[in-house]
Amino acid sequence: MNSLRGGWTVAVALLAIAIALTVPRAIASSATDPITVKWKNVALVHVTLTPNYAAGFGQIPATIGTQPAPTHGPDASLGAGSVDFGNVLAGKNYVYRYATHLAVTSNSSTGLNVYGEGAADFYNTADSSTVPISTTIYWLNSSASGDANTGFSPGTPMQLTSGTVVGGGQFSAPSINYTTYPSPISSTALANADFYYDYQLKVPATATSGLYYVWIVYTVVSR
């Protein structure tokens, strides 16, 4: 009897050992299941913006025929400053030649889209009134030199952004956060490109006197 009990004891012990050795292997096999990791490479895009980018920059009143010499306000200088129309009259139109140059470099294999929008409406610092930017400021394609745009050339209205404007003021540039991009103002299949823009200013006849300003924000992304 004792020998029979001893035999059962050994059998149970062996079974326990066998189970103990088996279970960890089952856990180890489930711990080695493959996990899929995915990521998306975003193209690197670098933009350099140069205002008043060529000699002959400045505003010209809308004129048919021989164009007057360009002039500009005190905050504009060659290759720097703001696009400063200087003194303008209510109810008159102007073109600003060689206003903005965007030099874009990237590693995009699909090309680039350029978005250009106003961060706000045209704001009068004298009385805090505003004039809609879409009926006041227009943009036109220009060139590195030999700009022939006039105040009568067809221009596209500059739109007020629907993105989230962050920061900014009369003397500090804002940024815009987008959840959805608007329609691009320019597009290219190239990774590196230059974009040149003139502006037109159409001052409403009802605009009050004062110093007006607005920030135009350009965003360039891979297509």
Partner 1 sequence: MKSLRYAVLLLGLSIAIPVVVDASIQQQRAQITVTITVNVTPAPIAYNGSAMETSRNGIKASLVLNAREALDQTFHAENLSFVGGSMIAQATNQKAVKVEAEVSPNPNGTLLTSDQTGVVINQQAGTTVSYPCIYHVSVSTAITNWSLDHGLYSNFIDMTDSTAFAGSAMKNKSYIATPQPAFTPFVVYSNGQNWALLQANSKSKTYCVDLELVLPASTSQGSYSSQATYTLLY
State yes or no: residue 54 binds partner 1 (CB under 8 A).
no
State yes or no: residue 30 binds partner 1 (CB under 8 A).
no
Per-residue tokens: 215 = 């920030």
Nearer to partner 1, 62 or 160 (CB): 62
Q: Looking at 46, 189, 192, 223, which residue binds partner 1 (CB under 8 A)?
A: 46
Nearer to partner 1, 187 or 192 (CB): 187
Which parts of 178-217 interact with partner 1 (CB under 8 A)?
A: 178-179, 183-187, 199, 201-205, 207-217
196 near 149, Cβ under 8 Å?
A: no
Beta pairing, strands 80-81 & 93-106: unpaired
Give the interface size with partner 1 as a residue count (CB under 8 A): 82
Three-state SS for 205? coil
State yes or no: residue 57 binds partner 1 (CB under 8 A).
no
Which parts of 86-145 interact with partner 1 (CB under 8 A)?
A: 86-93, 99-100, 102, 119, 124, 134-141
Q: Looking at 37, 39, 40, 146, which residue binds partner 1 (CB under 8 A)?
A: 37
119 near 174, Cβ under 8 Å?
A: yes
118 near 158, Cβ under 8 Å?
A: yes
Report residue 28: phi and psi, to 5°.
Answer: -65, -40
Q: In terms of C-beta density within 10 A (0-12 exposed, 13-18 middle, 19 or more buried), how is residue 106 classed?
A: buried
